[in-house]
Amino acid sequence: MKNKSLYIHGLDSKPNQQKINLINIYSKVYFLHIDYNKQKDTFALLSKLIDNKNINCIIGSSFGGMLAYWLGKKYNIPSVLFNPAFGKENFINPFNKNNINDPYNLIVLGGKDEIVIPKSVISFIKKSNKKNYELNIIPEMGHRIDLKNFEKVMTLFFKSINHEKNNIH
């Protein structure tokens, strides 16, 4: 079965077609262009998309990475979190954030990110008692993810989750 991914862009951003094309190599990809400042029910909107399209992977960047983390936790879906902007959870509708789901997360941080500070993300992950994750810090990367690193991460992520699926049987 082919993967079905949800790609969630960051705040004051829009879906990047080149990144969507890279995800599409491994997965059918769904995405929305969301104005987070106007769209107040983003979490519910994305939850509905996950339900309707049977999404089984999430890729999110910055604010979208934070959303990907909580959506993944809610639905037990593996996710890639690029520079996730933890601390902005007041933007999402409440749900049982203390549920037992701990899906695999590949967390990718830019060593030179001055918007989402890598130490704050690492601190959040440690405080959350997250166990099922991989941390990848790219020293030369800032907040924006270049296509070369994005492609490397997609290859790693889909290889990892497809390997897990194959080992279940």
Q: According to the model, what pLDDT value does residue 110 have?
A: 97
Q: How far apart are CA 65 and CA 6, in angstroms?
A: 11
This prediction has a pTM of 0.91
Q: Identify the band that residue 168 occupies on the pLDDT scale cut at 50, 70 and 90.
A: very low
Q: Which of the two residues, 163 and 9, has the higher pLDDT score?
A: 9
Q: According to the model, what pLDDT value does residue 13 have?
A: 93
Write the CB contacts of 131 (distance below 8 Å, at least 6 apart in sequence). Answer: 102
Convert the pLDDT of each residue in 64-121 to its tens digit: 999 999 999 999 999 999 999 997 666 565 566 666 789 999 999 999 999 999 999 9
Q: How far apart are CA 86 and CA 108, in angstroms?
A: 13
Q: Is 88 buried (19+), middle (13-18) or exposed (0-12) by CB count in 10 A?
A: middle
Long-range contacts made by residues 21-26, C-beta under 8 angstroms, separation at least 24?
22/147, 22/150, 22/151, 22/154, 23/59, 23/154, 25/154, 26/154, 26/155, 26/158
Write the CB contacts of 97 (distance below 8 Å, at least 6 apart in sequence). Answer: 70, 73, 89
- Using the predicted structure, report yes or no on whether residue 169 has a pLDDT greater than 80: no
Long-range contacts made by residues 88-93, C-beta under 8 angstroms, separation at least 24?
88/63, 91/36, 91/42, 91/43, 91/63, 92/42, 92/43, 92/67, 93/41, 93/43, 93/44
Tokens of 88: 């902005």
Instruction: Specify the range with the lowest mean pLDDT, choosing from 38-42, 59-63, 106-110.
Output: 38-42
Longest dimension (CA), the chain: 44
> What DSSP character marks residue 89?
G
